[in-house]
A and B are shown apart, each in its own frame.
Chain A
Amino acid sequence: MDVRIKPRPNKRIQSFALLFIICNVQIGIGVFGFQRYVAREAGHDAWISVLLAGLVCHFSGWMILRVLRRYESADLYGIHQDLFGRWIGGALSIVLILYYVIVTVTILRTYIEAVQSWIFPEFPTWLLAVVLLFLSWYAGISGLRVIAGVSFMGFLVIFAFSMLYYNPIQYGQWNRLLPIAEASPYQLFNGAVAMGFTLSGFEIVFFLYPYLKDKEKSQKYMQLSMLLTNALYLFIMIVTTIFFSQDQLLRSVWSSINMLKIVKYPFLERIEVLAMGVWMFAVVPGIIILTWVISRGMRRLFNFEHKKVLIIFSIGVFVVSLVFHNRQQIDMLNNLISKMSLIISFVYPIILNIAVAVVWSWRQRQANKGEGGSQHEQTSN
């Protein structure tokens, strides 16, 4: 496996597309019910936690691109191999792939759960799973450009629907936000940690980077994308805090959908049902990007054929998602994944930065010591 990859120009996308893709992977399904996890830790100061987590997110994004810039045109699979060698690097990549498989299952199963709870209680899990996985397979074989297009759709849906939250504001009581900063720093920190899984997903830029046409603009669009995500989360968190009373919030599983229950138009009385259905546009991009990342990884690591991997993967995810039957199991899955996502999205970029700094300076020294340093570096690759 080559560390650096040079995709053909017709497979590349513009950095501008990062704006939609990253936003979409981050928001997806988490926006339905992240509020109560944060509020459970930080109370009515949850918005401060969201803000803090957002800042950390920007920092992590910057760290990730710092690593990628060094390699010019490599993805994380290549970087793993370069830094840790074939076996350890490969193992890390496999762990990462497994992580993304579980994330895909989580997204899929959480969305199906929500649909079953809100619209069709008797809707069979397998049917919706088949429909969604068919979409992800279809997008997966069509390549990154189609994925970027679907993300754009999801992006529009997300921001169109966030306009609806104007209505709950009118029912809000602003004094619920007072007194500001009552929560202790420790509670705020815990609240920010609870945002981990909700915010994670931006690290897929690790895999998209080689496919970007204008890499020098990547930082700009990535930060902009994360800024949009954070602004949306902050907005929704504030609306939620003023709309619900404290205990009421802790009791609602899908607070964002609950808030839409009060939106009423003469021609459409129950907009939350519509929102639930249309939100598929926001969930699908998340699934298909992860599918793409996984199949890329399998190809890079084992030289598996793209199409076959997609089918095997789809069947695998389908089977695994049928294992989960009730809310407890899905909650358990979410809890597990949120811890892992913390490490992978926020801690790992820092570790990588350190590793890159150590390994590269070590190589530099080796190169300076021996006269045939350049040859040494060649072999160490």
Chain B
Amino acid sequence: MNKLQIKSISVVIMLVLLSGCFHSNVLERTSISVAVGYDKIGEGKIQTSSVLYGATSKEGKESSQVITVEGETSKGARLNLNQKLGYKVVSGQIRFIAYEGELARDGILSIVDTLSRDPSYGDMMYLAVTEKPIRDILAYKYPNISNVGNYLTRLIAHNIEDSWVPSCTLHDFRNDFYSAGKEAVLPIVERTNNEVNVTALALFQKDVMVGKIEPEQAVYIKLLLDREQPESLEVKMQKDGMAKYVKNVHHPFETIKTALGNLGSKSSIKLISKDELQFDIHIRMNVELQEISEDYDFTEKGAVQQLETELSKQMSIDLLNALNQLKRLKSDAVGFGEVYRSSVRNSRLTKDRWQDMFPKAKFNTKVTVNLIRTGTIE
């Protein structure tokens, strides 16, 4: 054999021997976890519930299995998990993590950091909070949901995309936690009988949950965060100036309710006075009317303009209320602190300082609604 042959043979041998699987995880021989929930039980003890893929039935329907263990730390609980399972638990497919409210009120940073420290977890899994023990949600036998872990992931994902839930991935949470002028928000998930739903947003101070905000107000926070957009929102207005455009009044009414489809919005937050901490908040929205509670006459002159003005007026009040709710709870979920930090030179802003300053902030809100169309009818 000449030199070249030896060389090429050795290269082939290298390729064959060294490309082998160093550490294989056979799919059938692993317990794949898809969702995890943490409950607080007693002082310093954590109960971990993990939703695993169950065996697929003959009809091809996926099933799930829920295992609950206790431990001093979240990682310790996971080690205990292995004692209850035939196969090793793998965590690369976890998409949903929930914390019980009790735990969230004590602070969840250590658990969040554990997740981030381990490269086998993705950064894009969703975090959520529950008011009742998370075990009740995960271990409940739902007649219509085959794998509650996957279901919850989809629930959160589409609510982020289309509805009022702001993005709540692990990355977002850590990003907010470590920034000086913004606090994290996580959705609150509840079970009512045979359904699970997202009910509100949990507001945080650092890693401690301090309160919640209802969907009607949360939608404004989402509008200000400016990444995904809510698809629609409801506005309830006083009839005042609009009464004259309403035809066929069959019953006395005080308010007009509308449902608007969001065709695209832009928001801007400006710091106009750094000493008085005054912020100008302006949202510009293109909307289409999807529903209106009264028989509103759009053909009449000025009717559309009037509706736009009333909508703008009402929405800027609602926006202000949402922001005041944040101020009351001292949780800057929108990130006014970041605006402050980026517009004031040498502010040396820290999280603690901003927490003291934020309640003193003043907001001037303005919403400009642009009614593009009223659906397919007038």
Q: A175, B123: Cβ atoms under 8 Å?
A: no
Q: A171-B171, A261-B122 are contacts. A123–B22 as well, Cβ < 8 Å?
A: yes
Chain A residue with the shortest CB-CB distance to B119: A118
Q: A123-B22, A247-B179 are contacts. A261–B123 as well, Cβ < 8 Å?
A: yes
Q: B92, A270: Cβ atoms under 8 Å?
A: yes
A240-264 contact mask (Cβ, 8 Å, vs B): 1 or 0: 0000111110010000001001101
Instruction: Report the Cα distance A247→B182, complex, angstroms.
Output: 12
Assess whether B346 is interfacial by the CB under 8 Å rule. Answer: yes
Which of A101-109, A176-184, A350-358 lines the interface with chain B?
A176-184
B324-367 contact mask (Cβ, 8 Å, vs A): 1 or 0: 00000000000000110011111000000000000000000000
Contacts of A122 in B (CB 8 A): 23
The residue that B124 contacts in the complex, of A173, A177, A247, A261, with Cβ under 8 A, is A261
Instruction: Report the Cα distance A176→B119, complex, angstroms.
Output: 26
Instruction: Report the Cα distance A177→B171, complex, angstroms.
Output: 19
Contacts of B110 in A (CB 8 A): none
Q: B123, A245: Cβ atoms under 8 Å?
A: no
- Shortest CB distance B133–A (Å): 30
Contacts of A173 in B (CB 8 A): 338
Contacts of B102 in A (CB 8 A): none
A163-180 contact mask (Cβ, 8 Å, vs B): 1 or 0: 000000001010111110
B193-204 contact mask (Cβ, 8 Å, vs A): 1 or 0: 000000000000
Instruction: Report the Cα distance A270→B178, complex, angstroms.
Output: 24
- Shortest CB distance A45–B (Å): 12
Q: B178, A175: Cβ atoms under 8 Å?
A: no
Instruction: Report the Cα distance A123→B169, complex, angstroms.
Output: 30
Assess whether A120 is interfacial by the CB under 8 Å rule. Answer: yes
Q: Which of B103-119 contact A (CB under 8 A)?
A: 119
Contacts of B179 in A (CB 8 A): 245-248
Q: A245-B175, A262-B124, A270-B92 are contacts. A179–B22 as well, Cβ < 8 Å?
A: no
Q: A175, B339: Cβ atoms under 8 Å?
A: yes
Contacts of B23 in A (CB 8 A): 120, 122-123
Q: A122-B23, A245-B176 are contacts. A264–B342 as well, Cβ < 8 Å?
A: no
Contacts of A134 in B (CB 8 A): 14
Q: Which of B289-308 contact A (CB under 8 A)?
A: none
A127-140 contact mask (Cβ, 8 Å, vs B): 1 or 0: 00001001000000
Q: A182-B345, A264-B124 are contacts. A175–B92 as well, Cβ < 8 Å?
A: no
Assess whether A117 is interfacial by the CB under 8 Å rule. Answer: yes
Q: B346, A182: Cβ atoms under 8 Å?
A: yes
Assess whether B180 is interfacial by the CB under 8 Å rule. Answer: yes
Instruction: Report the Cα distance A106→B174, complex, angstroms.
Output: 31
Q: A182-B346, A246-B179, A248-B175 are contacts. A175–B124 as well, Cβ < 8 Å?
A: no
Q: A118-B119, A261-B123, A270-B92 are contacts. A179–B345 as well, Cβ < 8 Å?
A: yes
Instruction: Report the Cα distance A270→B22, complex, angstroms.
Output: 18
Assess whether B18 is interfacial by the CB under 8 Å rule. Answer: yes
B168-186 contact mask (Cβ, 8 Å, vs A): 1 or 0: 0101001111111010000
Q: A120-B23, A178-B343 are contacts. A248–B123 as well, Cβ < 8 Å?
A: no
Q: A123-B22, A245-B179, A248-B175 are contacts. A270–B122 as well, Cβ < 8 Å?
A: yes
Interface residues on B, range: 20 to 34
Assess whether A214 is interfacial by the CB under 8 Å rule. Answer: no
Chain B residue with the shortest CB-CB distance to A269: B122
Contacts of A270 in B (CB 8 A): 92, 122
Q: Which of A208-261 contact B (CB under 8 A)?
A: 244-248, 251, 258, 261
Chain B residue with the shortest CB-CB distance to A175: B342
The residue that B178 contacts in the complex, of A171, A245, A262, with Cβ under 8 A, is A245
Q: A175, B119: Cβ atoms under 8 Å?
A: no
Chain A residue with the shortest CB-CB distance to B169: A262
Instruction: Report the Cα distance A258→B169, complex, angstroms.
Output: 14
Q: B342, A258: Cβ atoms under 8 Å?
A: no
The residue that B171 contacts in the complex, of A179, A247, A262, with Cβ under 8 A, is A262
Contacts of B178 in A (CB 8 A): 244-248, 251
Q: B22, A176: Cβ atoms under 8 Å?
A: no
Q: A120, B22: Cβ atoms under 8 Å?
A: yes
Instruction: Report the Cα distance A98→B2, complex, angstroms.
Output: 37
Instruction: Report the Cα distance A1→B343, complex, angstroms.
Output: 62
Contacts of B339 in A (CB 8 A): 175
Contacts of A262 in B (CB 8 A): 123-124, 169, 171
Instruction: Report the Cα distance A177→B92, complex, angstroms.
Output: 33
Chain A residue with the shortest CB-CB distance to B344: A179
Contacts of A171 in B (CB 8 A): 171, 227
Instruction: Report the Cα distance A71→B175, complex, angstroms.
Output: 54
Instruction: Report the Cα distance A119→B120, complex, angstroms.
Output: 8
Q: Which of B147-175 contact A (CB under 8 A)?
A: 169, 171, 174-175
Instruction: Report the Cα distance A122→B23, complex, angstroms.
Output: 9
Q: B175, A178: Cβ atoms under 8 Å?
A: no
- Shortest CB distance A142–B (Å): 10
Instruction: Report the Cα distance A248→B119, complex, angstroms.
Output: 16
Q: A182-B346, A264-B124 are contacts. A175–B338 as well, Cβ < 8 Å?
A: yes
Residue of B14, B122, B171, B343 contacting most chain A CB atoms (<10 Å): B171
Q: Which of B4-18 contact A (CB under 8 A)?
A: 14, 18
Contacts of A269 in B (CB 8 A): 122
24 A-B Cβ contacts within 8 A? Answer: A123-B23, A134-B14, A175-B338, A178-B342, A178-B343, A179-B343, A182-B345, A244-B178, A245-B175, A245-B178, A245-B180, A245-B182, A246-B178, A247-B179, A247-B180, A248-B174, A248-B177, A261-B122, A261-B123, A262-B123, A262-B169, A262-B171, A264-B124, A269-B122
Top 10 closest pairs, chain A to chain B, by CB: A245-B179, A178-B342, A248-B178, A247-B178, A261-B123, A175-B342, A245-B178, A118-B119, A179-B345, A245-B175
Known: A171-B171, A262-B171, A269-B122. 9 other contacts (CB 8 A): A118-B119, A122-B23, A177-B342, A178-B342, A182-B345, A245-B180, A248-B178, A251-B178, A264-B124
